[in-house]
């Protein structure tokens, strides 16, 4: 991660040192942050045009008010899958923009405090979206595959997990090591929390203990229960064979013979 950050920083600093090169570099850096400001300018233009068509119009006032409420409510509803901060930010932006647009269209964009609200509020909202965009890239963030957050959630922050392996039968096997003084019983008690945190069916995880250690073992995950459906009896496993051959009377959850 550190090397990637250093590489990005070096690419930013490298470039032409001439005047045209500096201007081109600045334009390239500023361009991703211009959309909120363009939208802010567009709201001002639309408000001015709206005032020419609807200033003092009561019916337009009703329509614009309903449209503002509908847009704000729709934004709040559609932003539900996102995080709470983004949802509130989006709905507040739409409410402020549509509210100003309604007032400007009915009374005029230069009446009373409207121009000041536009200048201060528009710049503040645009800058807030720029700040959000800046923090989307966080070089100090943990890698996507980091399991620290998950382990904290189930109360086993000091549990060390090895490299996960997926078997041909769909099992996920992860070797683990507990801290000194802990036993695999603690991990077994935390399995329901792990299943809840990963949204796996009850009983989807189990612990295979190491007979030579209290701290080591294998965490086995079977996300889909192969025995949940109907399993047809395949018939005798060794018809006409010797009585010394092992009998197969079923299958384990990994579909291996029982």
Provide the CATH number for the domain around residue 165: 3.30.70
Query: Any idea which residue has 């929390």 for tokens?
Result: 193
Residue 10: the pLDDT is 55
Do 115 and 158 fall into the same domain? Answer: no
- Give buried/exposed letters for 121-157 (b at 16+ CB in 10 A, else e): bbeebbeebeeeeeeeeeeeeeeeeeeeebbeebebe
Query: Are 188 and 195 within 8 A, CB to CB?
Result: no
Could you tell me if residue 11 is inside a domain? no
Residues forming beta bridges with residue 210, ordered by sequence position: 213
Do 39 and 89 fall into the same domain? Answer: yes
Query: Any idea which residue has 């100003």 for tokens?
Result: 100
User: Burial level of 6, CB count in 10 A (0-12/13-18/19+)?
Assistant: exposed
- How many domains would you assign to the chain? 2
Residue 28: the pLDDT is 78
Number of H helices, E strands in the chain: 9, 5
Which run of H or of E encompasses 19?
helix 19-30
Write out the residue range of the structural domain in which residue 61 sits.
Answer: 16-134
Do 161 and 111 fall into the same domain? Answer: no
pLDDT exceeds 50 at position 144: no
Q: Which of 24-33, 81-90, 107-116, 189-198 has the highest mean pLDDT?
A: 107-116
Could you tell me if residue 52 is inside a domain? yes
Could you tell me if residue 177 is inside a domain? yes
The whole model's pTM is what?
0.50
Average pLDDT of the residues of the chain: 80
C-alpha 108/C-alpha 48 separation (Å) is 7
Do 167 and 191 fall into the same domain? Answer: yes
Could you tell me if residue 196 is inside a domain? yes
Other residues' Cβ atoms within 10 Å of the Cβ of residue 159: 20
Domain limit, last residue, from 112, 134, 156: 134
Residue 142: the pLDDT is 43
């Amino acid at each position: 991660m550190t090397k990637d950050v250093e590489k990005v920083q070096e690419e930013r600093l490298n470039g032409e040192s001439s005047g045209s090169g500096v201007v081109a570099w600045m334009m390239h850096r500023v361009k991703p942050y211009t959309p909120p400001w363009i939208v802010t300018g567009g709201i001002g233009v639309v408000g001015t045009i709206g005032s020419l068509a609807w200033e003092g119009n009561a019916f337009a006032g009703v329509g614009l008010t309903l449209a503002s409420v509908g847009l704000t409510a729709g934004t709040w509803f559609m932003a539900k899958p996102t995080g709470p901060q983004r949802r509130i930010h989006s709905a507040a932006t739409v409410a402020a923009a549509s509210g100003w647009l309604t007032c400007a269209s009915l009374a005029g964009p230069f009446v009373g405090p409207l121009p000041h609200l536009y200048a201060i509020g528009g710049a503040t909202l645009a800058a807030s979206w720029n700040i959000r965009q800046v923090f989307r890239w966080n070089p100090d963030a943990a890698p996507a595959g980091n399991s620290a957050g998950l382990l904290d959630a189930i109360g086993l922050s000091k549990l060390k997990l090895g490299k996960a392996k997926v078997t041909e039968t769909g099992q996920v096997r992860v070797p683990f090591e507990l801290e000194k003084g802990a036993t695999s019983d603690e991990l077994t008690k935390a399995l329901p929390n792990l299943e809840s945190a990963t949204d796996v069916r009850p009983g989807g995880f189990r612990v295979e203990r190491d007979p030579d250690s209290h701290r080591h073992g294998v965490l086995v995950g079977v996300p889909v229960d192969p025995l949940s459906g109907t399993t047809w009896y395949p018939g005798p496993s060794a018809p006409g064979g010797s009585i010394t051959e092992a009998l197969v009377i079923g299958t384990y959850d990994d579909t291996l013979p029982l």
